[in-house]
Chains A and B, each alone.
Chain A
Amino acid sequence: MSASSDVGHHAQRQARWHYGEVAFWLVVLACGFVFPTRYLIMTDILRLALFAMSLDLILGYAGIVSLGHAAFFGVGAYAAGLLALHGIVNEPVLALIAAGLAAMVLGFATSFLVIRGVDLTRLMVTLGIALLLEALAERFSNITGGTDGLQGIEMQPILGQIPFDMFGKAGFFYSLAVLFLLFLFARRVVHSPFGLSLRAIKNNPLRAAAIGIPVNRRLIAIYTLAAFYAGVAGALFTQTTAIASLDVFAFERSADLMLVLVIGGTGYLYGGLIGAVIFRMLQEVFSTITPQYWQFWIGLVLVVIVLVGRQRLHRWVLYVPNLVIRQIAGRKAVVVPESEA
């Protein structure tokens, strides 16, 4: 078997759906029926998961470190809010796509700034863009509502059929559907030759360029796509909570997002989803212990994770599941994070 077909065979095997993945999504769906009183928090988790998946696309697959991913989340949130508030696009799904596209345009425009320079410059530029947008949103308070945020948003029924209810049931299944569809697309993308080339760029941009991968164009493409995802996550935020305030751009949002991905692990798409669940649960636990100072514990978790080492931590966490799966199925676990960012 030649080397290239061997690579293709390997990639195809990686891309195949595993039982574990099917089980994962069934469990998520089941949650919607098992915990009918917890729709709001579960919707929150789904949103965060989508947002984290967006960062995973650029961080885990392309190796771009971003401290300002909230910029796209915020643009999506405000776009969706404004579209609904002024009745420009009433139908939520269309508005969602429009908001995602707005974030995507911003992502495309700023990607040229981001692909320049090394990690540190990228950190600064992404952080700067998010702060810039926050300042802009505050400045144009006649459009954005300033520090009060957009208020009085009324959402129309989804696809003209399903109205948002006050228990958040429709919101939950709507978010789940969006997350699943976007996940399918992301999964397809990262397992495509395009996705493989991104990993090559992440491992060694110089070598990737030498074997003929257009590094900058690929990075621009994935950054733009990730911006779309983040914009959709932001739009979901506005649509399911019916508010959009300045804190959608906040630095803490970007920083929390990093933590979500760090908890879940990068580079296998499920990291964001698992991380979002654990992060929200941690947050719940901490805020019941110390309502005002939960940030301290979140910070401590970050410090400990980094000091212990992310790879080592994931080996520990996955030890039991791996053991179980190996015993039952006689093969390696499905949830094995690959190389870390």
Chain B
Amino acid sequence: MTSILTNLFDGVAYGMLLFVLACGLAVTLGLMNFVNLAHGAFAMAGGYVCMVLVNRMGWPFFAALPLAFVSSAAIGIVLERTLYRHLYARSHLDQVLFTIGLTFMSVAAVDYIQGSSRVFINLPAALQGQFDVFGVGIGRYRLMIIVICGLLTIALQMVLAKTRFGSRLRAAVDDPRAASGLGINVPQVFAFTFAFGCGLAGLGGALSAEILGLDPYFPLKFMIYFLIVVTVGGSSSITGPFLASLLLGIGDVAGKYYVPKMGPFVIYTIMIVILIWRPNGLFGRTAAR
């Protein structure tokens, strides 16, 4: 019984992490219909920035996290303004090729700068170990992830639902042409959202170093996970990807614990079945385009 609860807890933490990592991709795909396979590269960038700050320069972990966000967002906005925006109108094939190219470059570049082995971020002592709540083992680090990612999710939902920017973004998602006709600067909204999504990915990358493992192949290894979150969750709202991430996180942890021999097999099968059953995602609706 307690092992089930512990697994559930780990799965939720994992899922929350995936959500923070992938929700930027949901916006990119949903808003501009842009297939960004290089999304994991931004996450990796954030992770490595955090690692360098904490391990080499002795920054406290919690001070390095915002910087991971900022640096990934900065890389994101630079790439968006210089490269990505030329490709919005292109075919999916071009976008795929371009972002695969970027991914390869990021993998080799990080390999060159930091070496190919897995890196760890030195955690403060307060985050290590676990404590028991009614016999259920709760990892401190995972608890922190759930708290941070939970707060982020609520904040995101509030921003999307209550603020002016949120309504602009939703308008742009629903119908970019009509939105720009109403005077909404759609490219600007997108650039900002893209950068924010990259920042979130960077933050997620920094947080995930402990759980998912951080090495130069991160963008390739987890690309499929991000894509699963987005395609299964649909990209029309934030709740879809959120539920999909939780499902994926819990499913993956449980799968690895109870049927370790099947490995990632379960996840891929579920994804293919869902995509066949509902091509627009579990919680998605038919795209306007």
- Chain A residues with CB under 8 Å of chain B are 59, 65, 67, 113, 116-121, 123-125, 127-129, 131-132, 135-136, 138-139, 251-252, 255, 258-259, 262, 292-296, 298-303, 305-307, 310, 341
Contacts and interface: CB of A to CB of B under 8 A. Distances in A.
Interface residue range, chain B? 35 or more
Contacts of B104: 255, 295-296, 298-299, 302
B37 to A, nearest CB: 9
Contact of B100 (A116, A293, A302): A302
B92 interface: yes
Given A124-B227, A295-B104, A299-B102, A258 B275 contact: no
A301 B103 CA distance: 12
7 pairs of A and B residues whose beta carbons are closest in the complex: A302-B101, A299-B104, A296-B108, A299-B105, A117-B279, A303-B101, A306-B98
Interface stretch (B118-126, B155-163, B168-176, B264-272): B264-272
A298 B94 CA distance: 16
B276 A125 contact: yes
Contacts, number: 125
A129 B224 CA distance: 11
B271 A124 contact: yes
A22 B224 CA distance: 43
Contacts of A139: 261-263, 265
Given A128-B224, A306-B101, A341-B93, A293 B111 contact: yes
A306 B265 CA distance: 33
15 contacts: A59-B93, A65-B92, A117-B275, A120-B35, A120-B231, A121-B231, A132-B265, A251-B220, A255-B100, A298-B104, A301-B101, A303-B101, A303-B105, A306-B90, A307-B98
B29 interface: yes
Given A124-B227, A135-B268, A305 B97 contact: yes
A40 to B, nearest CB: 25
Interface in B114-152: none
A296 B105 contact: yes
